[in-house]
Amino acid sequence: MKLRVLIVDDEPLARELIATVLTQEPDVEIVGQCGNGHEAVEAIQTSVPDVVFLDIQMPILDGFGVLAALKTERWPLVIFVTAYDRYAVRAFEVHALDYLLKPFEYERVHAALERARAALRQRTNGDYQRRLVEFLENLPGQMPGWDRLAVGDRTRTFFLKFDEIDWIEAEGNYVRLHAGKKSHLLRETMNSAESRLTAKKFLRIGRSVLVNLERIKEWQPLFHGDSVVILEDGTRLTVSRVYREKLDQLAAQLG
């Protein structure tokens, strides 16, 4: 079976070099070449490639913007192409399937392609997708429209929108995301979850609890300065005295 590959780069010479290497691979079919991000989004949606060589730095819509414009279930395996220096690119070594650092050599393209083959053979692309989503979520300023968390295990990955989460509680080295009648474990600390979700209308109301502010239906006082919030589904969550001040401030703004 042919490996369907799309090449995306705003530099014609870079596209030509990658294409030259790929044409020497008998199991590879180049389904297209794109010179900008908008072309890439359309090509991925129509040609459904297995692998995309994706340039990061492109005008108007960069490589990260291309991924943000696609539903995650439509993502192919992505090999980043970048001119970042070796220090900055260390993040890709952890989160990406692979990357090509410009200027790259023939052997490096071969190696990246072989990693893609291995991922497809071993069906590990679900784990790869989860790591890539986590990486994109933590890019400062790169993906302002990104609104998902990747949760699951090595066999299945769910892409959960922030506004689907009702509340979050700590469970050891994990946090449990409550979304309707379902819950999902995410390997993350409560402090890390708070830093990521504060801008997404989540508020920490206790040492081990974050709540989606849009789910709060009622707020009632308890004893000794504690209080309780009641969510739309009837869930009751205690607000400790330490964290009550921010809720007080929000209530005053709405009053």
Q: What tens digit of pLDDT does each residue of 47-71 get?
A: 999 999 999 888 778 888 888 778 7
- Which CATH architecture group holds 148-254? Beta Barrel (2.40)
pLDDT score of 145: 47
Average pLDDT, the chain: 81
In angstroms, what CA-CA distances link 169 with 66, 174, 214? 33, 9, 17
Q: Confirm if 15 and 33 have CB atoms less than 8 A apart.
A: yes
The class level of CATH for 3-137 reads alpha beta
Query: Helices in the chain by DSSP H: which ranges?
Result: 12-22, 37-47, 63-68, 90-95, 106-122, 125-137, 190-197, 244-254
pLDDT score of 235: 95
> Where do the structural domains in the chain lie, given as residue ranges?
3-137, 148-254
155: confidence class by pLDDT, cuts 50, 70, 90: low
209: confidence class by pLDDT, cuts 50, 70, 90: very high
- pLDDT-above-70 percentage for the chain: 78
Cα–Cα distance measured from residue 60 to residue 75, given in angstroms and rounded to the nearest whole number:
20
